[in-house]
Amino acid sequence: MTFAAAAHAAPSVFVTLDYQVAPGAVGCAEVSGFQAAVRSQLGYDPFRPIAERQVSVQIARSDLGYEGKIHWTAAGRAAGDRRLSTSHRECAEIVNNLAFALAVQIQLQTALAPVTTPASATARASAPSAQQPSAPLAPLPSPPPAPSLSEARPPASEARPPTVEPPLPPLPPPAPPAASPLQLAVGFGPSLALALAPRPTATGRLFVSARSARLSLELALDGALPARQQDARGAGFTLDRFAGEGALCGHVSAFAACATGALSLIEASGFGVGIPRTATGLTAQVGARLVAAHDLSARTFVAGRVEGMLLPYRWTVTLNDTATWTTPRVAAVLGVDLGVRIFR
């Protein structure tokens, strides 16, 4: 006797999605885009307005990039959490990572869900083959009398136990964050220089920086407003300063510490003297800088900086064969920068 084998489709897990994007997260996909990313991974639509399982997906900005959270609940109880993070400055990467992680979790729950065999398939499997010769039909017996209501009701001890839904499988670990790409930024900023000239002087600078993960390299051009010094007799000089600077920085969250170096061109022009002259010289500085940055948007930022400098080579301005002013050993700069990330 031959029995036909019944084929059954794998069960599908359906969920109710709560998708939330924090106000500070810029450029993140809408809920429809996130659902489309999950559907493309699974090959079917797992989202329903009402389902036994609920999943909450949350996206927010962090100090280095974005953070995401997947929270599962079933029957009103928490069933698991997963957190992901990325140092990317664009929201698309964390959205893709969350969509991939959610699709893997749904696939794992689908694989562990029990397969229910339809009753119709069981009935067909137990039916005799159509090719078997049928036996002659026997006369139908008279139906037995219907049992009373008390007899028809099964005893309490034979009542079927309630159906218990299998527990949710453990969620897979989150995908590792992608390696941070090279980030380029340009900007400008005003500064106040102390002891780089005869009196506190306003300066301005243009800079370009390249950052990878927690390290960055910065190059800058710096120029100071002319500083003027005059004695009681009306003789004096005007000092101009231009500098090229470099900094190697290490970053932790929104803060950075840098080692700096600069090469300066100083030009002093005398006035009120018998023979006005102009003297030019080069000086070098080394120092350290502390920076605190804040993102204004996904591409713009503002940073405050404090820098201390040591001048190993001193330079002296001489008027009428008399030393009038000499560069000090130690100087400081206070400044604020505004920058734009042009490539990430």
Q: What is the DSSP track for 26-48?
A: -S---HHHHHHHHHHHHSS--B-
The reported pLDDT for the residue numbered 126 is: 46
- Chain centroid offset of residue 125 CA: 56
The reported pLDDT for the residue numbered 135 is: 47
pLDDT in tens, the chain (344 residues): 444 444 445 568 899 999 999 988 888 989 999 999 999 988 899 999 988 899 999 999 888 889 999 999 988 888 888 899 888 878 988 999 999 999 999 988 888 776 554 444 444 444 444 444 444 544 545 545 545 544 545 454 454 555 555 666 666 665 555 545 788 999 999 999 998 888 899 999 999 999 988 999 999 999 999 888 887 777 787 888 899 999 999 999 889 999 999 998 888 887 776 565 667 878 889 999 999 999 988 889 999 999 999 988 777 877 666 677 788 889 999 999 999 988 65
Contact 96, 68 (CB under 8 A): no
The reported pLDDT for the residue numbered 203 is: 94
**Burial (CB count within 10 angstroms: exposed 0-12, middle 13-18, buried 19+), residue 110:** middle
d(CA 110, CA 42): 11
d(CA 152, CA 303): 82
Which domains does the chain carry? 15-112 (3.40.50.10070), 183-343 (2.40.160.20)
d(CA 129, CA 139): 23
pTM exceeds 0.85, yes or no: no
Contact 208, 186 (CB under 8 A): yes
